[in-house]
Amino acid sequence: MVQKPGVRHYFAEGVTSRGYISLLPDMMSEWERTYVLMGGPGTGKSTMIKMIGLELLDRGYEVDFMRSARDPDSMAGFSIRRSNLAMLDLYEVAPLKWRAPGIVERFVDFTPLCDLRKLEYQRHRILELEDDGKRLQKEIGVRLAEEFGEKVRGKAPTAEDKHERPWLLNSYSSSDLEEAREGPWSKAQGALDKLQKSKVTSFFLQRLDCEGWLNLAPHYLADFDQIRLDGKETSEAMDWILSEAEQLGQIINIVLHPLYPDKIIGIVFPQRNLAVWQGAPEELKDQGLDRPFSEALKDALVKFQNLREHLKTIYMDVIDFSRVDQLRDEMLNQILGDLEELK
C-alpha cells in the first residue's frame, strides 16, 4: 500500500478480547459536520468514501481514512484534519447512540437507489444473514477472550479506571469485559494529565483478519523518525518520552494494542515527526501478535467474511450505480461548500 502525503489510514474501531471497541466517540467531539451514509454492504458507500476522500486529498486537504474493522475491503469513513468534517458508513461503525451534541449531521440513504422490488424479495434472506452475522461476531469475541484474554475480568469501570485510561473509557464497547491493567499506566497518565492543551487521539493500526493480522503500522509510520523500545530499555525510554510530552502542548496520537486496548504500543507526535514504538512496527511478534489462531476462531472469521460477501452480492444486484455516481458528485460539491464555510 502506497500512502500519499497528507493521508493517514487507521482503524477507529477494533475486535478485541474485550469485545468490539469503538474510539469514535472521542474523535467525534471535534467534528462540526458529519455525513452519515446508510445502506447495506455492496451499495457503493465504501467506494464513495474512498473517491471523495481522494478528491479532497488532491485539492490539498489532509485526509484520515478510517478502515473497516469488520471488512478488509471496506472504508468505514474519513475525516478532514483541521476542518472538523467527517463521513461515516453507518453499516461499518458501532451504533451512533453516542452522537456528540452540536454536530450538524447529514444522513444519506442509499436504499432509494436500489430496485425496491428486488430488495423486498430478498428481505428475509438479508435479515437471516444479518442475524447470522451478529451471532458470528459474538462468537469471534468470545473466542478471542478465551484464547487471548487470560487476564480478562468482568468488572464495571471504576473511578480509578477512568483516571488511568480516559482514551479507552471514553469509547463504545460491546462488552463489559475488561483486561487487568499492565504497563506504565500511572506514569503515562501522570504525563498526560499535564498536557491540558494537548489533543490526544487514540486508534488502532492492526486489524484481525482471516489470514492473521492486517498491519498498517509500517505505512503509517514510514515518514516518522522512530524510537523503538525493547527489553529493559522500555521503562527508561518511556520516562524520556513522558518528560518531553509534558512540554509539548501539541497533538499526541496513542496507538492501542488490537487485542488488549488497555495497552499502548505506540505514541506518535505528528508535529515533531516522531514516533515511539514498543518493538518494530513491521514485526507483529514484538506486540505479541504472532500467536496462531485456533481452527475454531479461523472458521468463525472465514464464515463471517463469506457472509459479508454474500450480503454484498445481494445488494450489488439491486443498486443502480449510475445514480450512486450522480449522488457522489452532488455530495462532493456539498462537502466542498461546507469546507469553505468551516474555514
Instruction: Encode pLDDT of 80-111 as tens digits.
Output: 988 889 999 999 998 776 566 677 889 999 99
Side-chain half-sphere CA neighbours of 244 within 13 A: 16
Question: Which of 80, 58, 9, 90 lies closest to 338, judged by CA?
Answer: 80
Q: Which three cell numbers stand for residue 4?
A: 500519499
Query: Helix (H, G, I), strand (E, B), or coil: what is residue 291?
Result: coil
Rounded average pLDDT over 251-264: 85
Name which of 238-247, 275-284, 308-317 the model is least confident about.
238-247
What pLDDT is recorded for position 72?
Answer: 78
d(C-alpha 150, C-alpha 146), whole Å: 7
Name which of 57-66, 92-101, 151-160, 324-333 the model is least confident about.
151-160
Whether pLDDT at 176 is above 70: no
What pLDDT is recorded for position 160?
Answer: 53
β-strand partners of 106: 35
Instruction: Produce one character per residue of 159-168: b if its CB has 16 or more CB atoms within 10 Å, e if not.
Output: eebeebbbbb
Instruction: Encode pLDDT of 186-198 as tens digits.
Output: 444 444 444 444 5
Whether pLDDT at 6 is above 90: no
What pLDDT is recorded for position 116?
Answer: 93
DSSP string, 7-50: EEEEBSEEEETTEEEE-HHHHHTT-SEEEEEES-TTSSHHHHHH
Other Cβ atoms closer than 10 A to 339: 17
Q: Distance of CA 73 to CAs 15, 92, 104, 321, 324, Å?
A: 16, 11, 28, 18, 19
